[in-house]
Amino acid sequence: MSVASEKLMVSAGQGCVDRPVLKQRGQQEVFCGLTGIMWLHRKIQDAFFLIVGSRTCAHLMQSAAGVMIFAEPRFGTAIMEERDLAGLADMNEELDTVVDRLLERRPEIRLLFLVGSCPSEVIKLDLSRAAQRLSQRHSPQVRILNYSGSGIETTFTQGEDACLASLVPSLPSEPDNAPKSLLVVGALADVVEDQFARLFEQLGITHTRFLPARLADDMPPVGANTHFLLAQPFLTDTARALEARGARYIQSGFPLGAEGTTEWLRAAASCFGVPDAKFEEVVSAPRTRARRAVQQYEERLSAKKLFFFPDSQLEIPLARFLGQELGMQTLEVGTPYLNKRLMAAELSQLPDDVVVSEGQDVDKQLDRCRDAQPDIVVCGLGLANPLEVEGITTKWSIELVFTPIQGFEQAGDLAELFARPLNRRTRLEV
Amino acid sequence: MQLTLWTYEGPPHVGAMRIATAMTDLHYVLHAPQGDTYADLLFTMIERRKKRPPVTYTTFQARDLGADTSQLFMDAARDAQERFNPAAMIVGASCTGELIQDDPGGLSKTLGLPVPVIPLELPSYSKKENWGASETFYQIVRHLAPLGPEASERTDISCNILGPTALGFRHRDDVTEIKRLLESLGISVNVVAPLDASVHDLLRLRHAEFNVVLYPEIAATAAAWLKRTFRQPFTTIVPIGVGATRDFIREIAEITGRDADTLLEQSESRLPWYSRSIDSTYLTNKRVFLFGDATHVIALARVAEKEMGFKVVGMGTYTRERARDVRDAAESYGVEALITDDYLEVERLVQELQPEMVLGTQMERHMAKRLGIPCAVISAPVHVQDYPARYSPLMGFEGANVLFDTLVHPLTMGLEEHLLQMFRDDFEFNDAAGPSHLSHGGHGPVKGQVDGGEAEPEQAQSFENNSNSIVWLDEAERELKKVPFFVRGKARRNTEKFAAELGLAEISMETLYEAKSHFSR
Ligand code: SF4
Ligand code: SF4
């Protein structure tokens, strides 16, 4: 393992970045990156996500988004058909027609993502060329970008990473003499974003922007004086793309829980030279509030044993929070993909005896899980009910992605998400 | 390429999953990328099944494509056989698997697995879920049924019930109801398949005298093959509604030479009386639109028109394979069938027809909610609340009772409708107040509150566009507001049409009532 060269901080006795990782290759029971569209299409209010894929992709979106079907969504699927594949129809022409029709129907759309899928990747349909061609045709009204959310390349939240990474090259340039600015990266619930914006402002970090912005024309500029802080752990490619544009990465863990949020804010504060006293003054009240909120659940959760199946890449920060602030004990924490650089601060706070696994062989992992006899299992929707039937309490991981959990004000809610299934199991008398 | 927002059917391999999951000891090895594992949640979350579907996905990744995906498939198949020890296996590919052309069928043959392995060819880019289920069931029957021993002499009359699957709309309860009905006819049930059937059960299929095809979308192909091969006749009538259930009983009497008269006489459904009771008068000529799979749409159109006294103003299906049957049925009600799998086309037709009730799938439920039209779900695809805890079949006489309730529940009740008409100005009778027995009030027009402000402008515009030249005078507009919201759209359209025909530039109160009498039914 070559992480040593990156000079990561490893606090003695606390755990270590350079730890053994159980690598699994087998059946992966994880959504593909298309699923990120579920929240991204709500986050960017004038963007549309057009998947170029198969009926399976359309069905995935519908099944996973079932509960949000009420409003006409800002996503759709251009389903490839036999005649497209047999070369009877020119796929590029077909795609152009679909896009024309779509934009005519939704004139308010300013940003269109062409989203690649497994089938479009396998047949090597060049969506970046299509995006360029269509951009010329529809500019300046609509900007057209592309990324892949295919299941052969991305898992679940990596779809957001690919989407944001595709945005980065098109972000406006910040002039070289621009003041030092902070860029917070990763889609957050609007309410969380607003809370963070207020905190940074109080800290005196006045040039703060968020990626993605809520509107296409509002995307933040980037340049050599941009310092970026990741709000989500799964942004490997986005971080790389930002660095390629000269922006600088602020090394940090992630803002989950009272302590996680404090350290995350502190990383930005020290980058921007905020005096310690000032920092304490700003964070102490909300941090106290957060600690109090979390503590309410400590009695119910401490010493409970956790087992994480891989899903969103939020698993390691969650395990850190639940251990550090609630005294829970993680037996195994699975992640679909482990980026040791971005996860360094989190890994170093994880006790040594926690098994970290990357990738999946779901049947073997289920065997390990049953053997380990955890009190609560964090897993995807396909596994949850069957485990409950076996008497194992579960928390569906997708809820952790769809609920505002970051920041001080949400720390208590985050703890509650884990307390609820346990509470429910003890309450029911049927 | 087809632009799709919502789809009525999943891909064909999901149909195959519905067969495999329905059975007790069949395992499916699917050459597919990891994202396709989402389909598990349909069964574990939406249908609340207690076990994971018996499906192994190979979950190949981009980096495998250059290397050896066929090896990956073979390893997965071998491991699955060892781990799950199924009595038989089916193997195939999803849409992406199909593109990489690894030939799962051929590969598994080389493995020499100790159980029957049935290869599936499900063309993902031209076929869909129900076709996939039908083809899978047919292949399983064709491979397994001949392996069973011939029937020994038997004295009782027996049949198989074919078609119920996992994730089927009310299949669980339909089976119970139809079994009961057959038993009261003195007919024993040999095998129900694929729901809860074992591979061994399929070996006994040939022992039955005839087959009951509960869901033609799933079982018609297999039943036709069984008829050709084992000379088993099959039923053609789907027993949904009182009339169809009676016809079904007669059809079985004919096939078996049994006397069905006693059973027909004591048919115990409450629907006929409830429908005749005077409280139901208000149901007369309610304008209803139906959309769903062919079986349910055809059956429910008959129930709606002949047993509830509604008026079918439009109907359609996404089951292209049975377009002809639906067209014929539609014609008998004097309407033209809409054959499409484009949700937007259905929505356009509903807006145009302005029915008083929609019977459809979960998609129509949402569309109707948006348009403020009462709706009941009568066909897949459905959501979690359409798998009720209580017993609620659609088939047989109990099914007819359930249907009566289902079709009446969303509507405003008889006297209430009169009161709403008479006292429009009562402040509690505002447009957002739905039928008083539906507490969530979700049935009022919800224009403007859709998607947090991202309103759907089409609905309002569709009227205003074609009335550009015609002006509503204030008094007429005010009067129109007194028309209950659930028929107001129709009143507005009719009046405008009437005015246009007469070449009027303005609509007065007079015009409104002229139009009303012109169109009165
Ligand atoms: S949100 Fe409610 S009504 Fe809509 S599909 Fe889901 S369960 Fe059905
Ligand atoms: S895994 Fe691939 S084929 Fe399946 S839904 Fe995702 S992108 Fe589509």
Q: Which of B36, B49, B123 sits opposite A56 (nearest CB)?
A: B36
Identity at A283, one-letter amino acid code: V
Contacts of A58 in chain B (CB under 8 A): 4, 6-7
In this structure, the number of other CB atoms found within 10 A of the CB of residue B268 comes to 10
A84 and B125: CB-CB below 8 Å? Answer: yes
DSSP state of B43: I
Q: How far apart are the CA of B402 and the centre of ligand 1, in A?
A: 21
Instruction: Answer yes or no: is A285 within a domain.
Output: yes
* Chain B residues 148-167 with a CB less than 8 Å from chain A: none
Contact A386 B100 (CB under 8 A): no
Residue A207 lies in a domain: yes
Domain that holds residue A401: 3-29+297-429
Whether residues A255 and A312 fall in one domain: no
Determine the pLDDT at residue B486.
65
Q: In this structure, are residues B240 and B395 in contact, taking their beta carbons and an 8 Å threshold?
A: yes
B contacts of A386 (beta carbons < 8 Å): 44, 49-52
Chain B residues inside the 8 Å CB shell of A312: none
Q: Which of A243, A267, A293 is the last residue of a domain?
A: A293
Answer for the pair A380, A396: CB distance below 8 angstroms, yes or no.
yes
Residue A164 domain-assigned (yes or no): no
Asked whether residue A257 is domain-assigned, the answer is yes
Confirm or reject: Cβ of A118 under 6 Å from ligand 2. Answer: yes
CA dist., res. A24 & res. A358, Å (int): 6
In a domain, A171, yes or no: no
The number of C-alpha atoms within 13 Å of B121 and in the hemisphere containing its C-beta is: 3
Q: What's the residue count for chain B?
A: 521
Angstrom CA distances, A104 to A48, A116, A137, stand at: 13, 22, 13
A269 and A307 belong to one structural domain: no
- One-letter amino acid of B33: P
For residue A343, the tally of other CB atoms under 10 A from its CB is 25
Distance from CA of B44 to the nearest CA of A (A): 6
Could you say which DSSP state residue B412 is in? P
* A359 and A238 inside one domain: no
Per annotation, catalytic residue among B68, B259, B279, B426:
B279
Type and span of the H or E element at B312? strand B311-317
Asked if residue A195 belongs to a domain, the reply is yes
- What separation in Å is there between the alpha carbon of A66 and the centre of ligand 1? 7
Sign of the dihedral through C-alpha B265, B270, B272, B278: positive
- The Cα–Cα gap between B53 and A258 comes to 40
Picking from A37, A43, A52, A56 by the largest number of B CB atoms within 10 A of its own CB, the best residue to mutate is A56
A140 with A194, same domain: the answer is no
pLDDT in tens, B127-152: 999 999 999 999 999 999 999 888 77
Q: Are residues A318 and A397 in the same domain?
A: yes
- φ, ψ dihedrals at B311, nearest 5°: -115, 120
Domain boundary among A112, A138, A154: A154
What tens digit of pLDDT does each residue of A370-401 get? 999 999 999 998 899 999 999 999 998 888 98
**Does ligand 1 lie within 6 Å of residue A67's CB atom?**
yes
Specify whether A289 is located in the same domain as A407.
Answer: no
Predicted local distance difference test score (pLDDT) of residue B420: 55
Q: What is the pLDDT, as a whole number, of residue A79? A: 95
Helices and strands per DSSP (H, E), number in chain A:
18, 14
Percent share of chain A, pLDDT over 90: 84
Nearest CB to A382; choose among B7, B44, B95: B44
Asked if B33 lies within 8 A of A150 by C-beta distance, the reply is yes
**Domain final residue, candidates A247, A268, A293:** A293
Cα(A119) to centroid(ligand 2), Å: 8
We report the CATH number of the domain holding residue A360 as: 3.40.50.1980
Same domain, yes or no: A332 and A423: yes
Ligand number, closest to the Cα atom of A56: 2
- Same domain? For A209 and A305 the reply is no
CB A261 within 8 A of CB A379: no
What would the pLDDT profile of A95-134 be if each residue is shown by its tens digit?
Answer: 999 999 999 989 999 999 999 999 999 999 999 999 999 9
Residue range B176-184: average pLDDT?
95
- Per the structure, the count of domains in chain A is 3
Decide: A52 in ligand 2 pocket, CB within 6 A: no
The answer on pLDDT for B447 being more than 50 is no
Residues A64 and A132 occupy one common structural domain: yes
Within-domain flag for A161: no
| Report field, pTM of the whole predicted structure over 0.95 | no
Which one of B4, B45, B343, B456 would you mutate to disrupt binding with A, by most A Cβ within 10 Å of its Cβ?
B4
Residue A102, in any domain of the structure = yes
> Which listed ligand is nearest to B365 at the C-alpha?
1
| SS3 state of residue B490 | helix
List per-residue pLDDT tens for chain A, 430 residues long: 333 333 333 333 445 567 899 998 899 999 999 999 999 998 999 999 999 999 999 999 988 876 545 567 899 999 999 988 887 778 999 999 999 999 998 999 999 999 999 999 999 999 999 999 999 999 999 999 999 999 999 999 999 999 999 999 999 999 989 999 999 999 999 999 999 999 999 999 999 999 999 999 999 999 999 999 999 999 999 999 999 999 999 999 999 999 999 999 999 999 999 999 999 999 999 999 999 999 999 999 999 999 999 999 999 999 999 999 999 999 999 999 999 999 999 999 999 999 999 999 999 999 999 999 999 999 998 899 999 999 999 998 888 988 899 999 999 999 999 999 999 888 898 8
Token pair 């921007």: residue: A272
Contact assignment for B11 to A28 by CB distance below 8 Å: no
Query: Can you tell me which atom of ligand 2 is nearest the CA of A151?
Result: 1
Point out the residue among A69, A71, A122 whose CB comes nearest to the CB of B454: A71
**Chain A contact for B128, CB < 8 A?**
yes
pLDDT value of residue A429: 87
B28–chain A Cβ distance below 8 A for any pair: no
What are B320-343's pLDDT values in tens digits? 999 999 999 999 999 999 999 998
Q: A28 CB under 6 A from ligand 2?
A: no
Are A289 and A304 found together in one domain? no
Within this chain, do residues A16 and A114 fall inside the same structural domain, yes or no?
Answer: no
Count Cα neighbours of A372 within 13 Å in the Cβ-side half-sphere.
23
Given a cut of 50, whether residue B265 has pLDDT beyond it is yes
Does A84 share its domain with A187? no
Q: What's the rounded mean pLDDT across residues B241-251?
A: 95
Instruction: Verify whether residue B40 is a known catalytic residue.
Output: no
Choose one of A61, A67, A68, A402 to mutate for the ligand 1 pocket test, by most ligand atoms within 8 angstroms of C-beta. Answer: A67
